[in-house]
């Protein structure tokens, strides 16, 4: 049996861009992707701390050290520049893997620069 667990989280990132004229996705600074283990094209859930909205999309790689957190397509209607969001990736784990699993949690500052990695 597989169990769905938190794989990675980027906590309290600030939306920097919203572009309706795009097919859809969330663009994330590649520095944060590398630190979190989230991959380009991976499905993520986005939780908007500012307005409470939640949605799913896929990741595209943003420029390294740019601080970009950009929402594209329909997602651009659910969070706006300046909003604070949480980006979550989940994984499926076998029961024995789940016992040992530790998610990667990245805390960022208001410029989307990594402050801390947990654990």
- Quote the distance between the C-alpha of residue 42 and its chain's center: 10
Confidence (pLDDT) at 20: 94
Q: How many domains does the chain have?
A: 1
Confidence (pLDDT) at 23: 78
In this structure, the number of other CB atoms found within 10 A of the CB of residue 21 comes to 7
Strands (E), the chain: 2-14, 17-19, 25-29, 43-48, 54-62, 69-72, 84-94, 104-108, 114-118
Question: What is residue 22's DSSP assignment?
Answer: S
Catalytic residue among 22, 58, 90, 93: 58
Residue 90 a catalytic site member: no
* Mean pLDDT computed over every residue of the chain: 96
Tell me: the pLDDT tens digits for 39-49?
999 999 999 99
Write down the pTM of the prediction: 0.96
Confidence (pLDDT) at 22: 87
* Residue 91 pLDDT grade (very low, low, confident, very high; cuts 50, 70, 90): very high
Q: Which domain holds residue 44?
A: 2-118
Q: How far, in Å, CA of 32 to CA of 59, rounded? A: 12
Tell me: the pLDDT tens digits for 18-74?
999 987 899 999 999 999 999 999 999 999 999 999 999 999 999 999 999 999 999
Which CATH number do you get for residue 17?
A: 2.40.40.20
Residue 84 a catalytic site member: no
- Quote the distance between the C-alpha of residue 107 and its chain's center: 11
Q: Is-contact 102 119, C-beta < 8 A?
A: yes
């Amino acid at each position: 049996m597989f169990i769905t667990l938190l794989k990675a989280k980027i906590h309290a990132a600030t939306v920097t861009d919203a572009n309706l004229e795009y097919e859809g996705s969330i663009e994330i600074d590649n520095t944060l992707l590398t630190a979190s283990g989230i991959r380009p094209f991976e499905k993520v859930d986005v939780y908007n701390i500012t307005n409470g909205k939640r949605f799913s999309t896929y990741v595209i790689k943003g420029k390294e050290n740019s601080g970009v957190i950009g929402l594209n397509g329909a997602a651009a209607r659910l969070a706006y520049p300046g909003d604070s969001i949480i980006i979550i990736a989940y994984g499926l784990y076998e029961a024995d893997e789940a016992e040992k699993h530790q998610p990667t949690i990245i805390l960022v500052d208001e410029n989307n620069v990594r402050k801390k990695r947990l654990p």
